[in-house]
Chain A
Amino acid sequence: MSQAPAIELVGIDKKFGAVHANKNINLAVAKGSIHGIIGENGAGKSTLMSILYGFYHADSGEIRVGGTPVTIRDSQAAINAGIGMVHQHFMLVENFTVLENLVLGAEGGMLLAGGVARARAELKRLAKDYGLEVDPDAVIEELPVGLQQRVEILKAMYRGAEILILDEPTGVLTPAEADHLFRILGVLRDQGKTVILITHKLREIMAITDTVSVMRRGEMVATRKTAETTVEELAELMVGRRVLLRVEKGEAKPGAVVLSVRNLTVKDGRGVTMVDNVSFDVRAGEIVGIAGVAGNGQSELLEAISGIRMPASGEILIDGEPIGKADPARLRDLGLAHIPEDRHHMGLVLRFEEYENAILGYHRDPKYGGLFLDLDAIRKDAIEKIEKYDIRPPNPRLRTANFSGGNQQKIVVAREIERDPKLLLIGQPTRGVDIGAIEFIHRRIIDMRDAGKAQLLVSVELDEIRALSDRILVMFAGQIVGEKTADAGEQTLGLMMAGIAA
């Protein structure tokens, strides 16, 4: 008799109101393997894992651990069943030490002293066995992200997890940290632990997993041996049809330099250097793409150029003029428009009605009134954009939260592009956007280029960067490590993004 799967999900079903997040999911994960679960954002991966970890309760279905059916009522039950989870947003107490975080919830008695001493010894053993070294007395907020994640893994191990779930673990890691993580996962597997890796990055799946399951719109559509599948097949399974990320476009006709970035250094809120002495130009009539793994400084770069974040040093020039300490409002006056990476927190106020968002950032424009808002002009303007960009439902009085992701993004894109800026900053233009809207938005971006606008594009989707850009700058660990033309191979760019080749 072959060994029972470490985890088996049978007919898991979960609805959130009208949203069918998980439809009749069946999954078996073999013991001592690394099992990848891949799917686009919103495919239902995180919901499924939250059910497994007791955060949500399935409407129906069964969970079996090692062949025995279990009821996972809460996280405690999951821990008792030997399941550990590393969340995308770390569940650590930032002003606690590593040890304190380790023992939280597993103190082993009313008093701390004994538990902490035991944890210290156990930590030494874990460090030796799995290569998970970390200073037990360091305070979490002073540790780099990679080490914080290691603490999360240690927490699970300390609780005796046999099955470790990692939710998008590399999103916040540098490539070197990600590599280290993969080595650790390999060691865990070799020691007989079972690892479930949730990601939307195909490369990671191919690099580390033994088996991969693909989710699409709440359904588990396929399970493959990693060795027997290809990136192309998985991509197709993920999106449901062959993606043609080729956008028809002619040759670029670059003109004068519009944006110049000179020796720019930007630090984040914690004082960590995120953009490190970066210089480049963007000319009129060209799209410059910034490729890179998320978290390598692209976000901070965009924030600095758009005036949201003050640079630590260096210069930004628009049309040869230094922008100095200009704020976002002043930069808009200078002809800069910005489609931000995060439309929910920056690009839109979700509680506002659609027409109120259609002027966000441009609300001081005299054409929308003086001291008072000229509501007639604003709504007329909003309706024009709704028609031109086919935003549905075509209702400027609807709350923005009630539009779909694609339509929300169109509200932002319409607002920024219709200003007819000379410089457009674009961050993750199609994140969480349906295929139809993707094609539409890509078309607009190309049209802008052909109209002679300068555009700087940041996207974690390499395909998107390659499809749209005329020139590609690769960012790694805050620096621009190289420049390639649009026809550069995926392989070459991938290596550069990983900081390996220049």
Chain B
Amino acid sequence: MDFFDILVSILGSTIRLSVPLVFTALAGLFSERAGVFDIGLEGKMLAAAFSAACVAYITASPWLGLVAGIGVSVAFSLLHGFASITNRGNQIVSGVAINFVVAGLTIVLGQAWFGQGGRTPQLLPQGRFSPIILPGVEALRGIPVIGPLYANVISGNNILTYMAFLAVPISWWILYRTRFGLRLRAVGENPGAVDTAGISVTWLRYRAVICAGILCGFSGTYLAVAQSAAFIKDMSAGKGYIALAALIFAKWKPVPVMFACLLFGFLDAFANFMQGKSVPLIGEVPVQIFQALPYVLTCILLAGFIGVANPPKAGGVPYTKER
């Protein structure tokens, strides 16, 4: 394999590995820009993956799987909202709780229903989102550089992949060009301003966490019904936290979020590629370096060495009217 083929293959898997990160980080974006910290992204993603896999298996329809994934993920969002918005509980603790409940429940239910040690049964091809070949692949095949890139990176992905990258401009548009977005950004900075403007802080924040739930539903579904063909226990494997890191790394802005996710996805793809390979002079680079790199980079950012990352001002603080 020459260098270019390797590059194309790494870029292709970068895209595939970035998709769940993009969905999840955008989910975090909606929630956190509204002032509700969400470390339960991981749990919501996992819950969505499990329910999507179950429903897709039973109905043989990936779309119904997606609906189920979104539904369950939104339900957990509402739970997070109930704890942290309605009851003014600690948002971090609520997120931790949801991650635990889901990590356990998916396996307990999976075992009880299917008896395969927490796995769900393998999906048939029609139960999955399969790759879409874009028009023009054959026509462009002969052109150097562009041809292979188009065929293997741009084309040949499943519908959810395209939706993920479409979700980025849509999220940007919602946040910066709509009434809902304006209010959402405002409530994350100064809920008092929103309240005195006659808007319900509670309802607004609930809508934000519901958005987060929907997006986590997409990412979980992608894991189980597009990338794989079944739910495997703990299949989110920390992606929720990487997405959180990407969100911070992107300073809570939608378009940078996409680039941060692509970067972290690339690190992942590169690590996979490097596994077992030896680099001249250095020797074999341990894969753990690539695993730790997103977190290390985020810490360096947080330390203020790559610009300043200002989280939404009212983030993590339940809103109470002052007396």
Q: Which of chain B's residues 157-211 have a Cβ closer than 8 Å to chain A?
A: 176-183, 185-186, 189-190, 192-200
Q: Could you tell me if A91 and B198 are in contact, using CB atoms closer than 8 angstroms?
A: no
Question: Chain B residues with Cβ under 8 A from A107's Cβ?
Answer: 179, 182
| 25 CB-based A-B contacts, threshold 8 Å | A53-B196, A75-B195, A76-B198, A76-B199, A77-B198, A87-B196, A91-B197, A92-B193, A93-B186, A93-B190, A93-B193, A95-B189, A96-B186, A96-B189, A101-B193, A103-B182, A104-B183, A104-B193, A105-B194, A107-B182, A111-B177, A111-B178, A111-B179, A112-B181, A113-B177
Q: Could you tell me if A94 and B190 are in contact, using CB atoms closer than 8 angstroms?
A: yes
Q: Which of chain A's residues 112-162 have a Cβ closer than 8 Å to chain B?
A: 112-113, 115, 155
Distance A92 CA – B196 CA, assembled complex (angstroms): 10
Question: Chain A residues with Cβ under 8 A from B189's Cβ?
Answer: 93-96
Q: Which of chain A's residues 446-471 have a Cβ closer than 8 Å to chain B?
A: none
Question: Chain B residues with Cβ under 8 A from A112's Cβ?
Answer: 176-179, 181-182
Distance A413 CA – B55 CA, assembled complex (angstroms): 69
Distance A109 CA – B185 CA, assembled complex (angstroms): 17
Q: Could you tell me if A105 and B321 are in contact, using CB atoms closer than 8 angstroms?
A: no
Question: Chain B residues with Cβ under 8 A from A80's Cβ?
Answer: 198
Check: B233 CB closer than 8 A to any chain A CB.
Answer: no
Distance A103 CA – B185 CA, assembled complex (angstroms): 13
Contact flags (1/0) for B8-52 with A, using CB distance below 8 Å?
A: 000000000000000000000000000000000000000000000
- 4 cross-chain pairs, A with B, having the tightest CB-CB distances, nearest first: A105-B197, A76-B198, A107-B179, A91-B193
Q: Given contacts A91-B193, A112-B177, are A104 and B321 in contact (CB under 8 A)? A: no
Best-surrounded residue of A78, A107, A115 (most CB of chain B within 10 A): A107
Best-surrounded residue of B176, B183, B193 (most CB of chain A within 10 A): B193
Best-surrounded residue of A79, A85, A105 (most CB of chain B within 10 A): A105
Question: Chain A residues with Cβ under 8 A from B176's Cβ?
Answer: 112
Question: Chain B residues with Cβ under 8 A from A95's Cβ?
Answer: 189
Closest B residue, CB atoms, query A79: B198
Distance A74 CA – B183 CA, assembled complex (angstroms): 17
Q: Could you tell me if B192 and A109 are in contact, using CB atoms closer than 8 angstroms?
A: no
Q: Given contacts A94-B313, A95-B189, A96-B189, are A75 and B178 in contact (CB under 8 A)? A: no
Task: Output the least CB separation between A264 and chain B (Å).
Answer: 30
Distance A101 CA – B197 CA, assembled complex (angstroms): 10
Q: Could you tell me if B197 and A75 are in contact, using CB atoms closer than 8 angstroms?
A: yes
Question: Chain A residues with Cβ under 8 A from B179's Cβ?
Answer: 107, 109-112, 115
Task: Output the least CB separation between B34 and chain A (Å).
Answer: 13
Q: Could you tell me if A91 and B182 are in contact, using CB atoms closer than 8 angstroms?
A: no
Check: A16 CB closer than 8 A to any chain B CB.
Answer: yes
Q: Could you tell me if A75 and B198 are in contact, using CB atoms closer than 8 angstroms?
A: yes
Closest B residue, CB atoms, query A55: B321
Closest B residue, CB atoms, query A21: B323
Question: Chain A residues with Cβ under 8 A from B182's Cβ?
Answer: 100, 103-104, 107, 112
Q: Given contacts A91-B193, A110-B178, are A74 and B186 in contact (CB under 8 A)? A: no
Closest A residue, CB atoms, query B323: A16
Question: Chain B residues with Cβ under 8 A from A87's Cβ?
Answer: 192, 196
